[in-house]
Amino acid sequence: MFLMGLYFDYPALKGFNFKGGLQIRGSLIALWFALAIYTGAFIAENVRAGILSVSRGQTEAAAALGLRPNRIMNLVILPQALRVIIPPMISHYLNITKNSSLAIAVGYMDVTGTLGGITLNQTGRAIETILLLMVFYLTISLSISVIMNVYNNSVKLKER
């Protein structure tokens, strides 16, 4: 079974070694690593800023009630910080989707490389190929945006 850089086959004993199993292409690992490092810094800073946005008095009040530090974080700080963290996270998730099109730089044939390269070379129809790419990325971006906006509305502070 082959799926976007992952290959799985049942392991079998061939000679003196096992063949098969899960195989991951090096270009896919490079893509995951690069996107994780690049985006992880932005997301970590958003989470840090969200946690620091909760006033110190909230933490002190929870400690005065006798809550342990991990319970203070889970019950007091994070629910309030999520209201600050979620909106910028939506744009970071959309940026991950758009930045994944740079996978062709590490030799991984993603949608841009496959549809933009192979389809364009075989058909010669540049406008239709670019329109297909635009529709694909628009669909993915809108669905991520809708899902994250629904989640944002569920954690938003309810007012009268």
Output the pLDDT for position 96: 87
pLDDT tens by residue, 53-86: 999 999 999 999 999 999 999 999 999 999 899 9
pLDDT at 113 over 80: no
What is the spatial distance between Cα 86 and Cα 157, in angstroms, rounded to a whole number?
12
pTM: 0.69
Domains assigned to the chain: 2-155 (1.10.3720.10)
pLDDT at 19 over 90: no
Q: What is the percent of the chain with per-residue pLDDT over 90, rounded to a whole number?
A: 32
Contact 5, 24 (CB under 8 A): yes
What is the spatial distance between Cα 68 and Cα 120, in angstroms, rounded to a whole number?
60
